């Protein structure tokens, strides 16, 4: 039976980068894109992505596990390691653990200022149609409600003058109200804060031997953080992961945010994210 690794990280924290690094292992079977619609199966009417563990049923759990196996291709390699990352899972770690009680949980954290700057650019960006088309090709009958929601979200975004959908990324509790009353900077800051705080609180309830935290800044500085992670995950061929790392290392990706915000925006941002930043050990 495949073992499972769940990468937990707020949107724009480097989760795709980490997922693709781990995918270099010959034993890894990677779900190639976020599958929020799969995780929300049976709970589509819930008003946010923050599903409590009480939303779990064995039927829902079986469905999610089966779809993850299908999407990762792990059916063909039951001895492999399934690697999955869906950024909205940061809001429902207890639910995720109910589906995968034995999974190893990798919490990837990143300076909230860099995340907010990157997230704001993503909210304003045009849809990546080739990527969305590839994802659409994996949809099945049970995913039709997600397809409908996505179409409506895109249409509402266009009506409101956005280049993409009205909502992008994890839907924290209250995001719909915030979109009406707050500027985008505060919405993105609250999105990051909600994801970080929810994950930290939930991981306190997880067995410590199943949890490993990685700082994005350490991950991009040198290979030591990645080496420690491959040891924690017990990957049989860490050298393949390290070779991929050396090929794709992007260097200092956090040089953009200092120039992106003026003094007034920095003050507003600080008011929103300082508690979570302090909890993660970042200076503000």
**pLDDT for res 252:** 61
Q: Which two tokens stand for residue 49?
A: 């992505």
Q: Report the Cα 274 to chain-centroid distance in Å.
A: 21
pLDDT value at 11 more than 70: yes
As a whole number, the mean pLDDT across the chain is 93
239-249 average pLDDT score = 94
Residue matched to tokens 């794709």: 248
24-46 average pLDDT score = 96
**pLDDT for res 143:** 85
Q: Is the dihedral of CA 137, 138, 144, 150 positive or negative?
A: negative
What pLDDT digit, counting tens, does each position of 71-122 carry? 999 987 777 899 999 999 999 999 999 999 999 999 999 999 999 999 999 9
75-79, 170-174, 264-268: least confidently modelled range? 75-79
Can you list the alpha helix ranges (DSSP code H) found in the chain? 15-22, 36-39, 58-72, 93-99, 112-124, 129-136, 144-159, 175-181, 184-203, 216-221, 224-233, 238-248, 257-260, 263-280
**pLDDT for res 82:** 97
Q: Which long-range contacts (CB under 8 A, 24 or more apart) does 52-61 make?
A: 52/92, 52/94, 52/95, 53/94, 53/95, 53/97, 53/98, 55/95, 56/95, 56/98, 56/99, 60/99, 61/98, 61/99
266-281 average pLDDT score = 97
Residue 154: which pLDDT band, with cuts at 50, 70 and 90?
Answer: confident
240-260 average pLDDT score = 86
Cβ 203 vs Cβ 279: under 8 Å: no
d(CA 171, CA 266): 24
**pLDDT for res 207:** 98
Strand 28-30: give its sheet, edge to edge: 28-30, 81-85, 3-8, 104-109, 211-215
Can you list the alpha helix ranges (DSSP code H) found in 204-237? 216-221, 224-233
Number of domains in the chain: 1
| Alpha carbons within 13 A on the beta-carbon side of 216 | 28
Residue 284: which pLDDT band, with cuts at 50, 70 and 90?
Answer: confident
% of the chain surpassing 70 pLDDT:
97
pLDDT value at 273 more than 80: yes
145-173 average pLDDT score = 82
How far are the Cα atoms of 80, 161, 186, 187, 228 from residue 164, in angstroms, in the given order?
37, 9, 19, 16, 38
Q: Which domain holds residue 237?
A: 3-280
pLDDT value at 186 more than 80: yes
Residue 251: which pLDDT band, with cuts at 50, 70 and 90?
Answer: low
Q: Collapsing DSSP states into helix, strand and coil, what is residue 233?
A: helix
DSSP 139-189: --GGGHHHHHHHHHHHHHHHHTT-SS-S--S---TTHHHHHHHS-HHHHHH
pLDDT value at 194 more than 70: yes
In DSSP terms, 214 is beta-bridged to: 108
pLDDT value at 164 more than 80: no
**CATH number of the domain where residue 85 is located:** 3.40.50.300
Cβ 212 vs Cβ 106: under 8 Å: yes
Q: Which two tokens stand for residue 170?
A: 């994890």
**pLDDT for res 239:** 98
Cβ 119 vs Cβ 66: under 8 Å: no
């Amino acid at each position: 039976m495949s073992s499972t690794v769940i990468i937990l990280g707020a949107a724009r924290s480097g989760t795709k980068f980490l997922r693709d690094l781990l995918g270099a292992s010959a034993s890894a079977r990677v779900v190639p894109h976020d599958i929020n619609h799969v995780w929300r199966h049976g709970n589509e009417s819930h008003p946010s992505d923050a599903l409590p563990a009480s939303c779990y049923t064995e039927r829902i759990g079986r469905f999610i596990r089966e779809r993850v196996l299908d999407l990762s291709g792990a059916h063909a390699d039951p001895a492999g390691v399934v690697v999955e990352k869906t950024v909205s899972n940061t809001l429902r770690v207890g639910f995720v653990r109910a589906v995968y009680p034995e999974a190893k949980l990798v919490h990837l954290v990143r300076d909230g200022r860099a995340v907010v700057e990157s997230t704001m650019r993503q909210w304003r960006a045009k849809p990546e149609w080739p990527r969305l088309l590839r994802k659409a090709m994996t949809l099945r009958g049970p995913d039709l409600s997600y397809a409908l929601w996505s179409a409506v979200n895109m249409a509402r975004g266009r009506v409101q003058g956005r280049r993409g959908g009205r909502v992008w990324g994890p839907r924290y509790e209250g995001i719909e109200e915030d979109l009406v009353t707050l500027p985008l900077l505060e919405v993105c800051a609250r999105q990051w804060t909600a994801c970080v705080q929810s994950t930290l609180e939930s991981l306190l309830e997880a067995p410590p031997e199943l949890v490993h935290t990685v700082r994005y800044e350490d991950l991009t500085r040198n290979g030591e953080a990645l080496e420690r992670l491959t040891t924690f995950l017990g990957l049989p061929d860490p050298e393949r992961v390290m070779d991929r790392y050396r090929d794709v290392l992007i260097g200092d990706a956090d040089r953009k945010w200092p120039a992106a915000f003026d003094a007034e925006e920095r003050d507003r941002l600080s008011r929103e994210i300082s508690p979570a930043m302090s909890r993660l050990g970042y200076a503000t």
